[in-house]
Copies of this chain bind each other. A is one copy, B any other.
Amino acid sequence: MSIDANDFYQALANESRLRCLVLLQRQGELCVCELTHALNLSQPMISRHLALLRESNLVLDQRFGQWIYYRINETLPDWVRSVLQTTAQANATKTPFAADLKALNKMPNRPSTGCCT
C-alpha cells in the first residue's frame, strides 16, 4: 500500500482525525461508537473523518454485526507506520490524547469487550 507524503499529512492535519489515529494506534481496533464516545464528538463528525482516513488508506474497516471496527492499515509503508507510532507514543500523556483514552475506558456498555467476544 503506497501513500503520498502530502496526502498523508493532509489527513493528519485535523485534530479529530489525529485523535482517532492516536487512539487506534494505541488500542488496535475501535468501533465508531467507541471513538464517538472517547472524543466526545457527534457521530456524523466521527464518521466523516473516518471516511476520509479510509479513503486515504490510512485505516481499514471491518463490520462485526451492527458495529464497524476501524484499525490502522497494517500494510502502510514503514515510514508511515513509524510516524504514526512515534506520534502516538510521544503524545500519549498529552492533551487531548490522554483524556481520550481515559474517556474510552470509562465508556459504559462498550461492545466487544465482554468476556465472551
Contact = CB atoms under 8 A, between A and B. Distances in A.
A54 B13 CA distance: 18
A12 interface: yes
A27 interface: no
Interface string A1-34: 0000110011011010010001000000000000
A33 B94 CA distance: 38
Contacts of A79: 86-87, 89-91
Contact of A83 (B10, B78, B86): B86
B10 A13 contact: yes
Interface string A76-93: 011100110011011100
Interface residues of A, number: 21
Max count, chain B CB within 10 A of own CB: residue among A78, A83, A86: A83
Nearest to A22: B5
Interface of A: 5-6, 9-10, 12-13, 15, 18, 22, 77-79, 82-83, 86-87, 89-91, 94, 97
Given A82-B86, A83-B87, 13 more contacts: A5-B22, A5-B94, A5-B97, A6-B15, A6-B18, A9-B12, A9-B13, A9-B18, A10-B13, A12-B12, A12-B13, A79-B89, A86-B86
